[in-house]
Every structure is written in C-alpha cells, then in structure tokens.
C-alpha cells in the first residue's frame, strides 16, 4: 500500500471520533505498529486535529469533512493551482497544510495526464507575477494547438519576433518558462515568459507533427540531461 493511501485510510478510521490504538490500526492496515506511529506523527505535524501518543491511542478531535462533490476539469485545475500557490508560499504552517491537502486530493482524484501542461501552473514570486498576464492566452493556445506570434527580449536586451507552436509551461525556481517549437529557427526553444513583451493570436492551429511535439522536446532534453516542462 502506498503511504498516501495509508494516510487516507487512517483518516477514515479516525473519523468516527473514537479512540483507536496503534495495534488495532496496524492490524486493519496490515502494517507494523512503528509504521502507524510514524504515520500518526505525520498527520499530527500536518495540522490535523489528532491527539494521542504511543501506548495510549489516537483520536481525531473536531474533524472537518466535506460532502461528496463532483468537480469539473477546470475546477480541479483551479484547486491544484491554489494548493500549489500556498505550498510554495512564505507561511511554513500553511505550506505544510497545503502539501498535506495535495496528498488528500491526489488520493481521491485521477492523476493528470503526463502531457497535461495545466498541472504545471504555479504562481509564486515577482517574476511569476509579471508573467501571469500571459498565462491565460498561453494556456488556451497550448490546449487548442494555436500558433502564436510573440515579441521577445533576450538577456542582452535584443528584441525579436517569433512565430511559435506553444507546447508546455513550467516553473523553475521562480521563473516561468515556455517550451515551444520556433518556426523561424526550425527547432525547439525555451522562452522566459516574463521576457515576452507581447503575444498575438494567429487563429491558425498546428498538427501534432512528429519531431515537433512535446514528447520530442522532452526526449531531446533528456538526452542533454536538461529538465524539461
């Protein structure tokens, strides 16, 4: 059993508000008592209202539960984005809580597709904040495979205009990057989003053409030992 699944099952056991001994929970989950001790310490450190100790037992005080609900794809994207915002924020307690919440979300929702660029959004830092003005358009263009024309300023301050096929967004440290196929250069390029001065929609779509796809870009980065979006 994965640890995330086990933590979720422990919360379900504790939801009845009764005192549960570690030996009882270990038997139910088929793990050692020491594993339960470690898992309970993790739950308590996450801010969950769990009280107890070794040799006595554990109880969940004032549990907060939500009714079953159905989320749309966009709502799930918004939930993931919000959790990531807090997880990378300056408040350590809230960051820990957000990471724990992310674990709970992951345990009850399907994993995002490997090529789902939406799961990479993470709004933190001044550079990221400057870049967010372009995010809605980039996100839409990635989904619809629409060619874009961008005005870009390189590190030396030189301006250029590119026709691109946007493929994926990523956040490295506090810098947004866009992976794209550049029509002018005839190859893959990575652009810092905060250096994009303007974006123009062309209304033209592109095919999932072999050699110019996100999977091809990732394979190329893997060969070079570079992390790809």
SS3 sequence of 180-205: EEECCCCEEEEEEHHHEEEEEEEEEE
| CATH code, 118-224 | 2.30.30.520
Q: Which residues of the chain are in CATH 2.30.30.520 domains? A: 118-224
Q: Which residues pair with 181 in a beta bridge?
A: 165, 188
Q: What is the pLDDT of residue 66?
A: 62
Q: What is the pLDDT of residue 126?
A: 44
Rounded CA separation 34/41 (Å): 11
Q: What is the pLDDT of residue 1?
A: 64
Ranges under pLDDT 50 in the chain: 113-128
Q: What is the pLDDT of residue 133?
A: 76
Q: Which residues pair with 162 in a beta bridge?
A: 150
Alpha helices in 15-163 (DSSP H): 22-29, 33-45, 73-87, 92-108, 125-131, 135-144
| CATH code, 3-60 | 1.10.10.10
Q: What is the pLDDT of residue 118?
A: 38
Q: Which residues of the chain are in CATH 1.10.10.10 domains? A: 3-60
Q: What is the pLDDT of residue 23?
A: 94
Q: What is the pLDDT of residue 19?
A: 92
């Amino acid at each position: 059993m994965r640890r995330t699944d086990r933590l979720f099952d422990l919360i379900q056991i504790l939801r009845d508000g009764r005192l549960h001994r570690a030996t009882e929970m270990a038997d139910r989950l088929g793990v050692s008592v020491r594993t339960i001790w470690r898992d309970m310490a993790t739950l308590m450190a996450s801010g969950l209202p769990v009280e107890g100790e070794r040799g006595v037992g554990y109880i969940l005080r004032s549990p907060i539960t939500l009714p079953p609900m159905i989320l749309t794809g966009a709502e799930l994207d918004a939930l993931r984005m919000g959790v990531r915002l807090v997880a990378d924020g300056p408040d350590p307690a809230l960051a820990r809580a957000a990471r724990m919440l992310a674990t709970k979300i992951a345990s009850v929702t399907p994993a995002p597709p490997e090529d789902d660029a939406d799961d990479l959004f993470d709004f933190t830092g001044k550079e990221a904040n400057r870049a967010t003005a372009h995010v809605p358009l980039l996100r839409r263009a990635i989904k619809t495979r629409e060619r874009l024309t961008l005005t870009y300023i390189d590190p030396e301050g030189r301006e250029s205009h590119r026709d691109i096929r946007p493929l994926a967004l990523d956040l490295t440290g506090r810098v947004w990057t866009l992976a794209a196929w550049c029509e002018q250069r005839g190859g893959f390029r990575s652009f810092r989003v905060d250096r994009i001065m303007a974006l123009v929609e062309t209304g033209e779509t592109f095919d999932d053409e072999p050699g110019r796809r996100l999977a091809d870009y990732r394979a190329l980065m893997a060969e070079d030992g570079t992390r790809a979006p």
